[in-house]
Amino acid sequence: MSPRALKIALALSLAVNLLVLGAVAGALIAGGPPGRDGGPRTEMGALTRGLDGPARRDLARTLRRDPQVREGRQRLREAAAATRAALTADPFDREALRDAMRDRQTALALMGERGAEAFANAVAELSPEARAALAARMTRRGAPRD
Protein backbone atom coordinates (compact mmCIF):
# COMPACT_ATOMS: atom_id res chain seq x y z
CA MET A 1 0.00 0.00 0.00
CA SER A 2 1.40 3.37 -0.95
CA PRO A 3 2.05 5.97 1.77
CA ARG A 4 -0.75 8.16 0.38
CA ALA A 5 -3.25 5.27 0.38
CA LEU A 6 -2.20 4.38 3.92
CA LYS A 7 -2.81 7.97 5.05
CA ILE A 8 -6.25 7.95 3.45
CA ALA A 9 -7.10 4.61 5.05
CA LEU A 10 -5.95 5.85 8.46
CA ALA A 11 -7.96 9.07 8.07
CA LEU A 12 -11.09 7.10 7.16
CA SER A 13 -10.53 4.76 10.09
CA LEU A 14 -10.16 7.74 12.37
CA ALA A 15 -13.36 9.28 11.03
CA VAL A 16 -15.26 6.08 11.81
CA ASN A 17 -13.78 5.99 15.31
CA LEU A 18 -14.84 9.59 15.90
CA LEU A 19 -18.36 8.75 14.76
CA VAL A 20 -18.43 5.89 17.27
CA LEU A 21 -17.26 8.24 20.02
CA GLY A 22 -20.05 10.65 19.10
CA ALA A 23 -22.59 7.84 19.25
CA VAL A 24 -21.31 6.85 22.69
CA ALA A 25 -21.70 10.43 23.88
CA GLY A 26 -25.21 10.54 22.46
CA ALA A 27 -26.11 7.30 24.21
CA LEU A 28 -24.66 8.64 27.44
CA ILE A 29 -26.78 11.77 27.29
CA ALA A 30 -29.94 10.15 25.90
CA GLY A 31 -29.76 7.00 28.00
CA GLY A 32 -32.15 5.38 25.53
CA PRO A 33 -32.34 1.73 24.54
CA PRO A 34 -29.52 0.31 22.45
CA GLY A 35 -29.92 1.13 18.82
CA ARG A 36 -32.52 3.85 19.34
CA ASP A 37 -30.04 6.50 18.27
CA GLY A 38 -27.83 4.11 16.34
CA GLY A 39 -25.27 4.17 19.14
CA PRO A 40 -23.70 1.22 20.85
CA ARG A 41 -24.58 0.14 24.36
CA THR A 42 -22.60 1.92 27.01
CA GLU A 43 -22.33 1.23 30.70
CA MET A 44 -23.88 4.63 31.49
CA GLY A 45 -26.67 3.99 28.99
CA ALA A 46 -27.42 0.63 30.60
CA LEU A 47 -27.46 2.24 34.02
CA THR A 48 -29.76 5.07 33.02
CA ARG A 49 -32.13 2.68 31.24
CA GLY A 50 -32.40 0.87 34.55
CA LEU A 51 -33.96 3.92 36.20
CA ASP A 52 -37.73 4.00 36.33
CA GLY A 53 -39.53 6.40 33.98
CA PRO A 54 -39.79 9.47 36.25
CA ALA A 55 -36.19 9.17 37.50
CA ARG A 56 -34.89 8.69 33.95
CA ARG A 57 -36.86 11.73 32.71
CA ASP A 58 -35.55 13.82 35.63
CA LEU A 59 -31.99 12.75 34.83
CA ALA A 60 -32.43 13.58 31.13
CA ARG A 61 -33.92 16.97 32.06
CA THR A 62 -31.01 17.66 34.41
CA LEU A 63 -28.49 16.84 31.70
CA ARG A 64 -30.31 18.93 29.07
CA ARG A 65 -30.28 21.92 31.43
CA ASP A 66 -26.64 21.48 32.48
CA PRO A 67 -24.63 24.33 30.94
CA GLN A 68 -21.49 22.19 30.84
CA VAL A 69 -23.30 19.45 28.92
CA ARG A 70 -24.67 22.03 26.48
CA GLU A 71 -21.16 23.41 26.12
CA GLY A 72 -19.87 19.88 25.57
CA ARG A 73 -22.41 19.28 22.81
CA GLN A 74 -21.39 22.53 21.14
CA ARG A 75 -17.73 21.58 21.44
CA LEU A 76 -18.52 18.19 19.88
CA ARG A 77 -20.20 19.89 16.93
CA GLU A 78 -17.22 22.21 16.53
CA ALA A 79 -14.76 19.32 16.80
CA ALA A 80 -16.73 17.35 14.20
CA ALA A 81 -16.61 20.31 11.81
CA ALA A 82 -12.88 20.72 12.45
CA THR A 83 -12.35 17.00 11.87
CA ARG A 84 -14.20 17.12 8.55
CA ALA A 85 -12.19 20.16 7.54
CA ALA A 86 -8.92 18.48 8.49
CA LEU A 87 -9.80 15.29 6.64
CA THR A 88 -10.62 17.13 3.44
CA ALA A 89 -7.77 19.67 3.60
CA ASP A 90 -5.25 19.56 0.81
CA PRO A 91 -2.54 19.49 1.78
CA PHE A 92 -3.42 17.34 4.76
CA ASP A 93 -2.61 18.99 8.10
CA ARG A 94 -1.90 16.24 10.61
CA GLU A 95 -1.75 18.63 13.56
CA ALA A 96 -5.14 20.15 12.72
CA LEU A 97 -6.63 16.66 12.76
CA ARG A 98 -4.92 15.81 16.06
CA ASP A 99 -6.19 19.09 17.58
CA ALA A 100 -9.75 18.34 16.43
CA MET A 101 -9.53 14.82 17.89
CA ARG A 102 -8.16 16.18 21.16
CA ASP A 103 -10.99 18.73 21.36
CA ARG A 104 -13.53 15.96 20.79
CA GLN A 105 -12.00 13.77 23.48
CA THR A 106 -12.01 16.68 25.93
CA ALA A 107 -15.68 17.39 25.24
CA LEU A 108 -16.61 13.72 25.60
CA ALA A 109 -14.74 13.48 28.89
CA LEU A 110 -16.51 16.55 30.25
CA MET A 111 -19.90 15.23 29.22
CA GLY A 112 -19.10 11.81 30.70
CA GLU A 113 -18.12 13.38 34.00
CA ARG A 114 -21.29 15.47 34.11
CA GLY A 115 -23.39 12.42 33.20
CA ALA A 116 -21.81 10.32 35.93
CA GLU A 117 -22.31 13.09 38.49
CA ALA A 118 -25.97 13.57 37.51
CA PHE A 119 -26.57 9.81 37.60
CA ALA A 120 -25.02 9.51 41.05
CA ASN A 121 -27.20 12.40 42.26
CA ALA A 122 -30.32 10.74 40.82
CA VAL A 123 -29.49 7.42 42.46
CA ALA A 124 -28.82 9.15 45.78
CA GLU A 125 -32.49 10.20 45.78
CA LEU A 126 -33.73 6.62 45.38
CA SER A 127 -34.91 4.44 48.23
CA PRO A 128 -32.88 1.33 49.09
CA GLU A 129 -35.58 -0.76 47.42
CA ALA A 130 -35.41 1.33 44.24
CA ARG A 131 -31.61 1.02 44.18
CA ALA A 132 -31.90 -2.77 44.55
CA ALA A 133 -34.42 -2.83 41.70
CA LEU A 134 -32.04 -0.72 39.60
CA ALA A 135 -29.23 -3.21 40.26
CA ALA A 136 -31.51 -6.08 39.24
CA ARG A 137 -32.64 -4.32 36.04
CA MET A 138 -29.11 -3.45 34.98
CA THR A 139 -28.11 -7.09 35.42
CA ARG A 140 -31.03 -8.24 33.25
CA ARG A 141 -30.37 -5.58 30.60
CA GLY A 142 -26.77 -6.43 30.01
CA ALA A 143 -24.82 -3.90 32.03
CA PRO A 144 -21.29 -4.98 32.83
CA ARG A 145 -21.25 -7.49 35.65
CA ASP A 146 -18.61 -8.34 38.21
Task: Identify the domain containing residue 25 by its residue range.
Answer: 3-70+111-140
CA distance 70 to 72: 5
pTM recorded for the entire structure: 0.58
Number of domains forming the structure of the chain: 1
Q: What is the pLDDT of residues 111-140, one digit of tens each?
A: 888 888 999 999 998 889 988 888 887 777
Please report, as a single letter, which amino acid is at residue 118: A
Question: Is residue 77 assigned to a domain?
Answer: no
Nearest alpha-carbon partner for 59 in 124, 8, 115 = 115
Question: Is residue 19 assigned to a domain?
Answer: yes
Question: Is residue 16 assigned to a domain?
Answer: yes
**Residue 27 contacts residue 40 (beta carbons within 8 Å):** yes
Q: What is the pLDDT of residues 12-44, one digit of tens each?
A: 666 666 565 565 555 545 444 444 444 444 456
User: What mean pLDDT comes out for the span 37-63?
Assistant: 71
pLDDT at site 33: 44
Question: Is residue 81 assigned to a domain?
Answer: no
Residue 45 in this model has a pLDDT that exceeds 70: no
